[in-house]
Structure 1
Amino acid sequence: MSDIIDEAVVKLSEKIGSFDGSVKFVVEDEGSIMVDDAGVRAGDESAECTLTADEETFRGILDGSVNPTGAFMSGKLKVDGDMGQAMRLGSQLG
């Protein structure tokens, strides 16, 4: 497991806890994080929505220096699946 994935699980758990739905974050060349009703964990299961970004963009989203909507509009964040789930999660990341 990579350090960014371990760090992200902790930070996302603090911000989100559990989530009514399922979203997977894919950090290119690092791994995947699942967010669902069971909480936040490292994992690569199927999800209603998959968000893919490079490490720099993902770190920025986590620390608040990158706006997820802006990252999506500029092509730095890819969304596959249920856009509604992505928007709900984005609002919880605040």
Structure 2
Amino acid sequence: MSDIVAAAVEALGAKLGDAGIDGSAKFVIEGEGALIIDSDGVRASDDDADVTLTADADVFQSILEGDINPTSAFMSGKLSVDGDMGMAMKLASALA
């Protein structure tokens, strides 16, 4: 696991708390690895998920810091979404 993925797991875990989400989402950080968010919380993993969101490390960091809205990142092509768009929207709300 890369340092960026490890830091992302920690940051997302802190942001989302212990609640997790109903369903599953995977963040793929290009060139670094992937993490899963589900009802168990956040962990480094490349398992299958209801939705997969892909971005580079800078965009992912900006989303976590609140500098970029996930919806805006998607609309501008900086974030790609594959799978359940409803789950992506739930995740975007949780990250806001």
TM range (shorter): over 0.9
Report the 3-state secondary structure (helix = DSSP H, G, I; strand = E; otherwise coil) of the residue aligned with 1:34: strand
Which of 34, 37, 40 lines up with 2:36 in the alignment? 34
Question: For residue 8 of structure 1, what is the aligned residue in structure 2?
Answer: 8
Amino acid at match of 1:62: L
Amino acid at match of 2:72: G
Question: For residue 56 of structure 2, what is the aligned residue in structure 1?
Answer: 54
Where does the alignment leave 5 or more consecutive residues of structure 1 unmatched? Answer: none
> How do residues 13-28 of structure 1 correspond to structure 2 at under 5 angstroms?
13-16=13-16, 17=18, 18-28=20-30
- The alpha-carbon deviation at position 61 of structure 1 amounts to 0.5
Question: For residue 72 of structure 2, what is the aligned residue in structure 1?
Answer: 70
Where does the alignment leave 5 or more consecutive residues of structure 2 unmatched? Answer: none
RMSD: 0.7
Q: Percent identity?
A: 57
- The alpha-carbon deviation at position 4 of structure 1 amounts to 1.1
Amino acid at match of 1:82: D
Runs (4+) off by over 6 Å: none
TM-score by length of 2: 0.95
TM-score by length of 1: 0.97
Amino acid at match of 2:83: G
Tell me the matched-pair count: 94
